[in-house]
A = this chain, B = another copy of it.
Amino acid sequence: MMNGAESLARTLLAQEVEVCFSNPGTSEMHFVAALDKVEGMRCILGLFEGVATGAADAYYRMTDKPACTLLHLGPGLANGLANLHNAKKAGSGIVNVVGEHARHHIAHNAPLTSDIQGVARPMSAWVKTSESAKSVAHDGALAVHAARQAPGQIATLILPADTAWEEGSGIDTTPYTGQRSAVASDTVETVAQALLRPLRTALLLGGMGVREPALNWVGKIAARTGCAVLSEYNTPRLQRGAGRVITRRIPYAVDAAVALLKEFDQIILVGAKQPVAFFAYPDKPSLLTAPHAQVIPLAGAGDDIVQALTDLSERLQATTMPPLHVADYQPGELPSGALEPLGIGRLLAALIPEGAVVVDESVSTGRGFDLPTTHARPHDWLNVMGGAIGFGMPAAVGAAVGAPGRPVILLEGDGSGMYTLQALWTMARENLNVKVLVFANRAYQILRGELKNVGAGTPGKNATDMLTLDRPCLDWVALAKGHGVPGRQASDLASLAQALQAALAEEGPFLIEVLM
């Protein structure tokens, strides 16, 4: 006999879900026991649920395969919601397995009873509560298929405890047959004609449009038509550095974004959305493109972007052209002196190892890192996609699990890092090769600027108290030590370079507190 929990564990494996980022409780104990019985599921514990969901987001970006999470009832799911929001905006596929009370127990309104479907819905594309142990395997397959739907979706399967412990129905091996939507030839033709017009035109890339296969076609199209190549401010996994086609990132600040985009009469969307401001401000626009600009979609995030770019290249007779805008290798010299953003960017350019994965939640400090690192060794760059801070530390975990053998460099703000610092412990337990740089400016620095931007004036006592992280200063080396991760401080560019070089020379996690 196989109980419902085991039928689910085996179904997930049959559906190629091979990693479970977990934080279970009592109602999930049968599923935990089932994971003991199956071979091939890697179970990774997070000491807070946001660690599990943020890790699953980055894991998907590195593997294009969903992981599952294991979460405890409504509150456990709630703790993971912010990073599910980020994953949803990233188009990452995740299967959440959320325990629920046994069905006969729900009506008794025990302390942990809550509306789990209600908690799941805002961040999930697919939500289902299993109705019996016999349906758990099928529901599990449906959840994986929903998660895999391009570009990737959040699927939440709620598992009442009795459907886990009663007799199940075997394994559901129904294969996933979904495919990315093909872009119509009419659309390709429309875009081709636009590109051939004597207008100032940019391709705006997002989603799979910033991976190497797409970028290669983009470079050929640029070579043929002279169009500019832009990318969204944040992208799920930008492949960049030496040998990759350079994309120009739309700035975060509204005025700078408007200034860049007003240079273009036509914007072709390639896995990107029409660019909008991150926030609204009094007297600033929400839409960032020039009022006269034409915005022309080629492919959405869920479409077959690479095929669309291939078709477009063929239509433009660009397939044999060498790509334009390819970065050469110019790592530059190691900078020295005081710690400031441009210097740190140049330092990263010199030290990023080939094949590294850079996870970027550096918020205000890192806003300009893209320019100096353009000609570094080839690497992947992962941004937080939903703007919910607390992504970086968990994402570094997921990136390291999803890309074994590749070093991960996490660029983290001190304010944002504090949201999910528990991920440090998972890095230590799993001996993940993550080098954490915490930029300790001891403030929600971005908000100081935003207070001005929204016209809210100069901060007084209450506002200052809510924007600063001093009194007391966080001691990140002690925080790392507390989680089992070694660390040190860096107070200038030379000591940062030395610390990062030493950390990169050894396997395993290391934290550097960069004293800004």
Contacts and interface: CB of A to CB of B under 8 A. Distances in A.
Contact of A122 (B110, B114, B472, B480): B114
Contact of A484 (B286, B415, B473): B473
A465 interface: yes
Contacts of A104: 280, 286
A45 interface: yes
17 contacts: A26-B278, A27-B279, A29-B453, A48-B418, A74-B122, A102-B280, A108-B287, A109-B276, A118-B118, A165-B456, A421-B421, A425-B474, A429-B472, A474-B483, A475-B481, A478-B481, A478-B482
A377 to B, nearest CB: 29
A278 B26 CA distance: 10
Contact of A419 (B48, B286, B446): B48
A30 interface: yes
Size range of the chain A interface in the assembly: 35 or more
Contacts of A48: 390, 418-419
Interface stretch (A75-83, A176-184, A300-308, A325-333): A75-83
A469 interface: yes
A123 interface: yes
Contacts of A79: 50, 79, 81-82, 390, 419
A22 B465 CA distance: 10
A273 B113 CA distance: 14
A149 B485 CA distance: 47
Interface string A78-111: 1101100110010000000000011011001111
Contacts of A102: 280
A284 to B, nearest CB: 10
A455 interface: yes
Nearest to A3: B456
Contacts of A161: 279-280, 454
Contacts of A112: 278-279, 386-388
Contact of A109 (B45, B273, B471): B273
B280 A33 contact: no
A32 interface: yes
Contacts of A234: 111
A314 interface: no
A66 B85 CA distance: 29
B26 A454 contact: yes
B36 A429 contact: no
A32 B75 contact: no
A47 interface: yes
A451 interface: yes
A279 B104 CA distance: 11
Nearest to A84: B78
B109 A43 contact: no
Given A75-B85, A112-B278, A466 B122 contact: no
B74 A110 contact: no
A515 interface: no
A237 B453 CA distance: 44
Interface string A269-280: 000010011111
A461 interface: yes
A260 to B, nearest CB: 18
A105 B447 CA distance: 19
A48 B415 CA distance: 9
A507 B420 CA distance: 29
Contact of A111 (B36, B385, B460, B466): B385
A86 B456 CA distance: 34
A516 interface: no
A360 interface: no
B465 A43 contact: yes
A361 interface: no
Interface string A410-448: 000001001101100100110000000000000000110
A472 B484 CA distance: 6
Given A122-B74, A273-B109, A279-B161, A456 B26 contact: no
Contacts of A481: 475, 478, 482
Contact of A447 (B26, B109, B451): B26
Nearest to A384: B111
A459 interface: yes
A36 B463 contact: yes
A35 interface: yes
A37 B476 CA distance: 34
Nearest to A287: B108
A81 B75 contact: yes
A24 interface: yes
A450 B26 contact: yes
Given A75-B387, A478-B479, 16 more contacts: A25-B447, A29-B454, A32-B462, A32-B466, A36-B459, A47-B419, A48-B418, A79-B81, A101-B279, A104-B286, A105-B276, A112-B388, A114-B386, A118-B121, A474-B482, A481-B482
